[in-house]
């Protein structure tokens, strides 16, 4: 039983599976496309939605250092992702990597985790996008009815119709083809980067040194107690991390870390890349470096323009320019943010559908979802299913309830990938590796430790919700995935045992 749960799918078989005509994706992406995807998804919520919240509640002007801390943690994980994505160029990202190293059950767990991570990430950004669009409409004198403006602040029924509509439109674009998605992303990312540069250049002229004092505000200890909203480390060890101060920077890093979710999504597109051995490391590491520099620059400028205690939560960049009497800049930023956040939604949705598709192709989810569209060569069935579900979630759920649950899912994936690099180096030293993570096992071990530290700083209720999702995943695996696994059927066939009918092959 235990050996069956940890059976591994070798890299060669994973690559052969991508060559099945009805289940193969079209290879159309270049290094530029991957870098644009990375920048397109990384630059978004962190700047346009979370900056003000974290500066005001956790770190003050030192939010810039929080971005550096989160960027370093991501860089360690990115080195591990780059090795795997270039060695195993198959859709599924961490799910596929763990299947080749840790085994089927761990692969299922991480795949189930990624499905949640990308789904909620898409919903979070769609809700943030909706907030900017409503702000633009309000400036033009058009106001949505309260019951169609979302759950935040709603006293009765509330549905965010704009967020739901965005997800459905992007779902249609993804069905039509990856290259179309890449072209739209390139255009929108160009607009988004221009807006970010406007913030940096124009905002620098309005920086006041007094707004940086103190750069690291005096710590405000969090009262120790059994509240599930407290960080897990507080409940486990009785140690309460502080808001503000030096420790507040690490608390903030565990939140702004959400801003860096993206380079792992680049890895999900490995199967659709023309030269993954060369281009995947470039796309993953290049996009992370570009975005870290831009994040730090923007956070320094924004906290210099407006005192951190007065930054808004919903639209910090636009409102910072409004506060100094420049509403024109605020309008440009709101437009750029709204346009830019669309690419974040698009690429998060892309990542989720590819993980779902890979799990379906392996038989752990119904094989019905692994057939690609005969014309567009896209996994249209899971794309439509997940798009509709996420649209409903985005419409009925508030931003604050979603962001931290996405963080823990991403961090968990980072731990699994780092461990997988060490294991595959030991079990398959013969594999050709176009990119090699330096200083193995030191870098993966440091990555695991840094990631676990950020995870411990997340609220206990986030861990509880994550645990509930994992329990559901275990149930689904043992009721369905374990008995329908294609790898299990192959092993039974090789051993001379009859293969039971799955009843779900299209």
| Average pLDDT over all residues of the chain | 85
Per-residue pLDDT, 303: 92
pLDDT along the chain (506 residues), means of 10: 80 88 85 90 71 85 92 92 91 90 93 87 84 78 73 67 93 87 87 87 91 91 70 77 84 79 82 92 93 91 91 76 81 77 87 92 94 90 94 78 69 91 93 92 94 84 88 94 91 67 48
Residue with tokens 């780059």: 82
**Cα–Cα dist 396/314, whole Å:** 17
For the stretch 240-249, pLDDT in tens is 667 899 888 9
> How far is residue 322's CA from residue 14's CA, in Å, rounded to a whole number?
53
**Confidence (pLDDT) at 362:** 94
Phi-psi region of 227 (alpha: psi -120 to 50; beta: other; left: phi over 0): beta
Task: Yes or no: say if 115 and 356 are a contact pair by the CB < 8 Å rule.
Answer: yes
Cβ atoms within 10 Å, residue 439: 11
Judged by DSSP in three states, 457 sits in coil
pLDDT in the model for residue 366: 94
Residue 280 confidence (pLDDT): 92
The whole-angstrom separation of Cα 234 and Cα 232 is 5
The full set of domains in the chain, from first to last, is 2-494 (1.20.1740.10)
* Residue 2, C-beta contacts closer than 8 angstroms, at least 6 positions apart: none
Please tell me the predicted confidence (pLDDT) of residue 505.
45
In the structure encoding, which two tokens stand for residue 417, read together? 């990938």
Q: Which burial class, exposed, middle or buried, applies to 103 when counting CB atoms under 10 A from its CB (0-12, 13-18, 19+)?
A: buried
pLDDT tens-digit profile of 386-417? 999 999 988 887 655 566 667 788 889 899 99
- Report if pTM > 0.95: no
Instruction: Give the integer Cα–Cα distance in Å for 390 and 416.
Output: 25
CB-count exposure of residue 22 (10 Å: 0-12, 13-18, 19+): exposed
């Amino acid at each position: 039983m235990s050996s069956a749960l940890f059976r591994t799918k070798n890299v060669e078989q994973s690559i052969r599976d991508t060559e099945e005509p009805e289940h193969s994706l079209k290879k159309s992406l270049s290094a530029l496309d991957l870098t644009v995807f990375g920048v397109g998804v990384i630059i978004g919520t962190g700047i346009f939605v979370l900056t003000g919240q974290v500066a005001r509640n956790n770190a003050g002007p030192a939010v810039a250092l929080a971005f550096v801390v989160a960027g370093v943690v991501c860089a360690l994980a990115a080195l591990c992702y780059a090795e795997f994505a270039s060695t195993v160029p198959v859709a599924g990202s961490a799910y596929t990597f763990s299947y080749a190293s840790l085994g089927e059950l761990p692969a299922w767990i991480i795949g189930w985790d990624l499905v949640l991570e990308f789904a909620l990430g898409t919903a979070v950004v769609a809700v943030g996008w909706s907030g900017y669009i409503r702000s633009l409409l309000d400036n033009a004198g058009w106001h949505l009815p309260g019951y169609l403006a979302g759950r935040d602040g709603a006293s009765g029924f509330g549905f965010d119709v704009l967020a739901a509509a965005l997800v459905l439109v992007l779902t249609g674009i993804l069905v039509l083809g990856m290259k179309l998605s890449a072209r739209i992303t390139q255009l929108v990312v160009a607009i988004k980067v221009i807006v970010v540069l406007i913030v940096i250049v124009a905002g620098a002229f309005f920086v006041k040194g007094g707004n940086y004092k103190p750069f690291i505000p005096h710590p405000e200890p969090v009262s120790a107690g059994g509240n599930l909203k407290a960080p897990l480390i507080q409940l486990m060890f009785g140690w309460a991390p502080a808001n503000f101060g030096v420790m507040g920077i690490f608390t903030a890093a565990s939140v702004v870390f959400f801003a860096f979710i993206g380079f792992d999504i680049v890895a999900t597109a490995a199967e659709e890349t023309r030269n993954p051995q060369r281009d995947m490391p470039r796309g993953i590491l290049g996009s992370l470096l570009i975005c870290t520099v831009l994040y730090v620059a923007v956070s320094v400028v924004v906290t210099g323009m407006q005192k951190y205690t007065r930054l808004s939560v919903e639209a910090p960049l636009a409102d910072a320019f409004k506060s100094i009497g420049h509403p024109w800049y605020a309008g440009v930023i709101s437009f750029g943010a709204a346009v830019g956040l669309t690419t974040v939604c698009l690429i998060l949705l892309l990542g989720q559908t590819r993980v779902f598709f890979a799990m379906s192709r392996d038989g752990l989810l119904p094989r019905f979802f692994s057939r690609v569209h005969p014309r567009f060569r896209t996994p249209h069935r899971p794309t439509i299913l997940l798009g509709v579900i996420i649209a409903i979630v985005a419409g009925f759920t508030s931003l604050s309830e979603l962001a931290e649950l996405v963080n823990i899912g991403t961090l968990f994936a980072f731990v699994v990938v780092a461990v997988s690099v060490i294991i595959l180096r030991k079990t398959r030293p013969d594999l050709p590796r176009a990119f090699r993570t330096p200083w193995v096992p030191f870098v993966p071990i440091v990555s695991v430790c840094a990631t676990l530290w950020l995870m411990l700083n997340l609220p206990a209720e986030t861990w509880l919700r994550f645990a509930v999702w994992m329990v559901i995943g275990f149930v689904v695996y043992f009721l369905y995935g374990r008995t329908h696994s294609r790898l299990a059927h192959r092993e039974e066939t090789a051993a001379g045992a009859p293969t039971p009918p799955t009843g779900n092959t299209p």
